[in-house]
Amino acid sequence: MWMRAVGMGVVWLLAGHASASAQAGRAVPAGTVAQGQLSFDGRASAGDFTGTTTTVSGEMTGGPQLEAVRGWVEAPAATLKTGNDRRDRDLNKSMESAQYPTMRFDLDGVTPGGTGDSVPVTLKGRLTLHGVEHAVELPGLVLLGSDQVRIRSDFPLNLKDYKIGGLTKLMGMLRMYEDIKVHVDVTFRFSR
């Protein structure tokens, strides 16, 4: 889940900066993740909760136009924290973090939905969670600065699509629901 979120962040940053740069007749600079936060909202029979990580890395390539920009973002699955040690252990067990340590998004293309300093985008790429890769198209908003791009996105994710199990405990009395909401907020600093 986080990997998808991270990947989306990288893609959004790339897409937004590329769109503004292409519009202004400039090439799109390469960049690396300067900071980021990935989170998800989960629902469970024992109460709703949020998981978060700020351990995000990634890079984007530069290019003469938006369509040439590619990139990736990733986060270690074990860095997701919910504020409850027992739930964190259950999360790592369900994610099989030792076997599948990395959540990753690879950007294959960007489609801008407008122009300006705040640009809606669609990020096309591949999200890998729990060792399962799916092609995805993610919505995002890019906020362009002079030396960085901030990307924000919110999207639904179904854990079963990535074969993440172990969502019930005590013979089904405790249950985490498979549909979650992912939030991404990633900033890329441009290389000069």
CA angle 52, 50, 106 (to 5 degrees): 45
In the predicted model, what is the mean pLDDT of the chain?
82
C-alpha to C-alpha distances, 167 to 35, 58, 64, 172, 181, nearest whole angstrom: 30, 30, 46, 9, 16
Tens of pLDDT, residues 67-78: 677 889 999 999
Q: Which CATH architecture has domain 2-190?
A: Beta Barrel (2.40)
**Which DSSP state fits 162?**
G
Q: Is 123 within 8 Å of 26 (Cβ atoms)? A: no
Average pLDDT for 137-159: 87
Is the pLDDT assigned to residue 191 strictly greater than 80? yes
Is the pLDDT assigned to residue 184 strictly greater than 80? yes
Residue count of the chain, please give it: 192
Q: How many CB atoms lie within 10 A of CB 25?
A: 6
For the record, the structure tokens of 180 come out as: 């979650």
**3-state DSSP assignment of residue 56:** coil
Q: What percent of the chain has pLDDT over 70?
A: 79
Is the pLDDT assigned to residue 150 strictly greater than 80? yes
According to the model, what pLDDT value does residue 67 have?
Answer: 62
According to the model, what pLDDT value does residue 36 have?
Answer: 95
Q: Is 19 within 8 Å of 112 (Cβ atoms)? A: yes
As beta bridge partners, residue 113 has none
Q: What percent of the chain has pLDDT over 90?
A: 51
According to the model, what pLDDT value does residue 1 have?
Answer: 47
Residue identified by tokens 């990997």 is: 3
Report the predicted TM-score, pTM, of the whole model to 2 decimal places: 0.81
pLDDT bucket at 146, cuts 50 / 70 / 90: confident
According to the model, what pLDDT value does residue 153 have?
Answer: 87
Q: Is 122 exposed, middle or buried (0-12, 13-18, 19+ CB in 10 A)?
A: middle
Q: How many CB atoms lie within 10 A of CB 145?
A: 14
